[in-house]
């Protein structure tokens, strides 16, 4: 995606995930420092993109290249910082307690279901990421995005972000791994709070993603105010299909109608 981002010379996205190490390091951050002289490098990761309910959440994290925190594991094993999906819930929670005190800075941005319905996930994700980056105490010199697509765009709110896209960056970059863990724990806690308000949907367990409990509750009770009403799962709910939101392609981005 070098033509879709403020591409960094000689730093095109890697070809595939097979070279990813088992735990995150500073390989990408050091390359950016050498190529750009970048000092503040923000790792960015998102969670909740594929959920049926709840916000999409983005975390931006900045580190100073000091050794990241580690956790003690069973049998003397060391648990190292990596992609949140490769960590247990207990280890994610434990990392989330120590990462804020170790990171130079971090911030969250989010996009609510109403905004996702209004503008679509691509734009909602961009907005959430930009909100996270703009909430940092100082703007980063460069940004590392997990994946092969630049979803913050070359220009956002008048600022041009220098972004590098990397497949499996959450397993290779300490800052992206930290962002991955913090975003996941932050959103899981939000969804657990919603579970108390809307019991029966299994939000504490599924975090708003489809599950048998979630699907059954939707069929019986319909969507909550925290569901994404423009998504295709609404077509499978005959009793509630009239609530589906449709974006009018002729009216432009952000226009909705109830059909």
Q: What are phi and psi of 248, to 5 degrees?
A: -80, 110
Per-residue model confidence as pLDDT tens digits over 148-186: 999 997 655 557 789 999 999 999 999 999 999 999 999
Let me know: does 248 contact 256? Beta carbons within 8 Å: yes
Per-residue model confidence as pLDDT tens digits over 86-125: 999 999 999 999 999 999 999 999 999 999 999 999 999 9
| Coil, strand or helix at 47 | strand
pTM over 0.75: yes
Read off the tokens for 217: 């509750």
| Residue 104, pLDDT score | 97
| Coil, strand or helix at 25 | strand
Read off the tokens for 174: 């300490």
Quickly list DSSP for 66-105.
SPPP-EE-GGGPEEPP--GGGS-HHHHHHHHHHHHHHSSE
pLDDT band at 3 (very low <50, low <70, confident <90, very high): very low
Q: Which helix (H) or strand (E) holds 115?
A: helix 113-119
Per-residue model confidence as pLDDT tens digits over 32-78: 999 989 999 999 999 999 999 999 999 999 999 999 999 998 888 89
**Averaged over 218-229, what is the pLDDT?**
98
Using CA atoms, how far apart are residues 171 and 20, in angstroms rounded to an integer? 6
Q: What are phi and psi of 221, to 5 degrees?
A: -115, -10
Residue 157, number of CB atoms within 10 A of its CB? 11
| Residue 23, pLDDT score | 80
Cβ-in-10-Å burial (0-12, 13-18, 19+) of 245 comes to middle
Residue 3 vs residues 12, 43, 161: alpha-carbon distances, Å: 10, 21, 14
CA 163 to chain centre: 16
Using CA atoms, how far apart are residues 213 and 43, in angstroms rounded to an integer? 34
- Over 70: is that where the pLDDT of 259 sits? no
Q: What percent of the chain has pLDDT over 70?
A: 85
| Residue 8, pLDDT score | 41
Q: How many distinct helices (H) and strands (E) make up the chain?
A: 8, 9
| Residue 248, pLDDT score | 60
Query: DSSP code of 229?
Result: T
Between helices 174-197 and 27-36, what is the axis angle to 10°?
Answer: 120
Binding-site residues for a divalent metal cation sit at 45-46, 146
- The DSSP bridge partners found for residue 245 are 258
Read off the tokens for 116: 């996702």
| Residue 160, pLDDT score | 76
Residue 86, number of CB atoms within 10 A of its CB? 14
Binding-site residues sit at 45-46, 146
| Residue 7, pLDDT score | 38
């Amino acid at each position: 995606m070098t033509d879709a981002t403020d591409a960094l010379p000689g730093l095109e996205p890697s070809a595939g995930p097979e070279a990813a190490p088992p735990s995150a390091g500073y390989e990408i951050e050091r390359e950016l420092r050498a190529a750009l002289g970048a000092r503040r490098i923000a790792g960015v990761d998102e969670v909740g993109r594929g959920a049926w309910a709840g916000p999409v959440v983005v975390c931006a994290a900045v580190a100073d290249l000091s050794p990241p925190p580690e956790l003690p594991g069973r049998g003397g094993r060391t648990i190292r910082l990596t992609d949140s999906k490769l960590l247990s819930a207990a280890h994610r929670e434990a990392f989330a307690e120590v990462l804020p005190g170790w990171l130079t800075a971090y911030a969250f941005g989010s996009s609510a279901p109403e905004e996702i319905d209004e503008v679509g996930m691509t734009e909602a994700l961009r907005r959430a990421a930009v909100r996270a980056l703009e909430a940092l105490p100082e703007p980063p010199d460069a940004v590392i995005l997990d994946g092969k697509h630049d979803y913050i765009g070359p220009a956002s709110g008048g600022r041009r972000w220098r972004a590098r896209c990397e497949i499996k960056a959450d397993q290779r970059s300490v800052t992206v791994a930290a962002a991955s863990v913090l975003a996941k724990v932050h959103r899981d806690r939000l969804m657990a709070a919603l579970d108390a308000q809307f019991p029966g949907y299994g939000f504490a367990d599924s975090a708003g993603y489809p599950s048998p409990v979630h699907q059954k509750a939707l069929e019986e009770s319909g969507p909550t105010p925290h569901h994404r009403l423009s998504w295709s799962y609404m077509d499978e709910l005959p009793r509630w299909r009239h609530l589906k939101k449709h974006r009018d392609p002729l009216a432009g981005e952000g226009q909705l109608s109830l059909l």
